[in-house]
Amino acid sequence: MSKTDNQVKQLLAEDVKIPQHVAIIMDGNGRWAQLRGKKRVVGHKSGVESVRTSVATAVKYNVKALTLFAFSSENWQRPQTEVNVLMDLFMFVLTREVKRLHKNGIKFKVIGDLSKFSSKLQKMIKASEELTAENSGMVLSIAANYGGRWDITHAAKVLAKKVERQEISADEITEASLNEQTSLANLPELDLLIRTGGDYRISNFLLWQAAYAELYFTDVLWPDFNEIEFTKAITMFDQRERRFGQTGEQVTNKK
Ligand code: IPE
Ligand code: IPE
Ligand code: MG
């Protein structure tokens, strides 16, 4: 074990505050492959191992919910061959991994506009969700054909239909009622949003849910993201002061 490994492990051995809900923008697969003179899709395949490690690490640290950005509503604009590989990979991973997730008591969910996927993939997603629905362990949500703007628009539409049917009045719409219609509504608030791959943007991920999340950006490319890198993010989270609009003094006095 390297010196940093030991340092990170030691840090976590103390009373570290663990985020209840972590989301990750898994970016950098293509560059990881290109740096090795390989095709971009090789990076996507290698990224699957990082997904496995991240799930295991989140479970180990008792994180309650892990949400991973796998495919954005904008990623359809990539070359068709790359989109095809990503879809095949998604199906392959579903077939291979969901049983293992189930054995570990993990509840598996997919968020996003699933209507754009093939009916075969939609069926596989539904079966995987049903298989793990009663599990009481960590909730793993995969964001696929997901966009933060889509999520908010969809929630607004659900409420608009309720108004149309005269089930509620427009004045009854509140932050809480809109929140209820967004993805991940039944989970703990998003505490920590990680982005790998060196860019400093949200790329239309959890716009509504990230309102007060701590943001952590790392240059590490997704296939290189491992337990140590995840631990660094959690350590950083522990050191942040979350003020939620209050002053530093107010927050300190509450402790
Ligand atoms: C993230 O890696 C995975 C997906 C968006 C599906 P990228 O494919 O975006 O990798 P880079 O950013 O081009 O290196
Ligand atoms: C964000 O990465 C989407 C996923 C990780 C699934 P992108 O690589 O698509 O983001 P941009 O295009 O660089 O903003
Ligand atoms: Mg990218």
Taking only the tens of pLDDT, the chain with its 255 residues reads 565 666 666 657 668 999 999 999 999 999 999 999 999 999 999 999 999 999 999 999 999 999 999 999 999 999 999 999 999 999 999 999 999 999 999 999 999 999 999 999 999 999 999 999 999 999 999 999 999 999 999 999 999 999 999 999 999 999 999 999 999 999 999 999 999 999 999 999 999 999 999 999 999 999 999 999 999 999 999 999 999 999 999 999 987
Euclidean distance between CA atoms 172 and 175, whole angstroms? 10
The answer to the question of residue 116 being in a domain is yes
Q: Is 75 among the residues known to form the active site? A: yes
Q: How far, in Å, are 40, 95, 104, 129, 228 from residue 123 at the CA level?
A: 28, 12, 22, 10, 36
Verify whether ligand 1 is closer than 6 Å to residue 86 (CB atom): yes
The answer to the question of residue 79 being in a domain is yes
For residue 3, the model assigns a pLDDT of 58
For residues 119-144, b (16+ Cβ closer than 10 Å) or e, as one string? eebeebbeebeeebeebeebbbbbbb
Verify whether ligand 1 is closer than 6 Å to residue 223 (CB atom): no
The answer to the question of residue 10 being in a domain is no
Residues with CB under 5 A from ligand 3 (ion): 27
The answer to the question of residue 221 being in a domain is no
For residue 254, the model assigns a pLDDT of 83
Domain of 209, CATH number, reads 3.40.1180.10
- Containing structural domain, residue 179: 18-93+108-128+138-216+228-239
Verify whether ligand 1 is closer than 6 Å to residue 71 (CB atom): yes
* Number of domain units in the chain: 1
The answer to the question of residue 248 being in a domain is no
In ligand 2, which atom is closest to the CA atom of 25? 5
Quickly count: other Cβ atoms within 10 Å of residue 217's Cβ: 17
Closest C-alpha residue for ligand 1 atom 6: 71
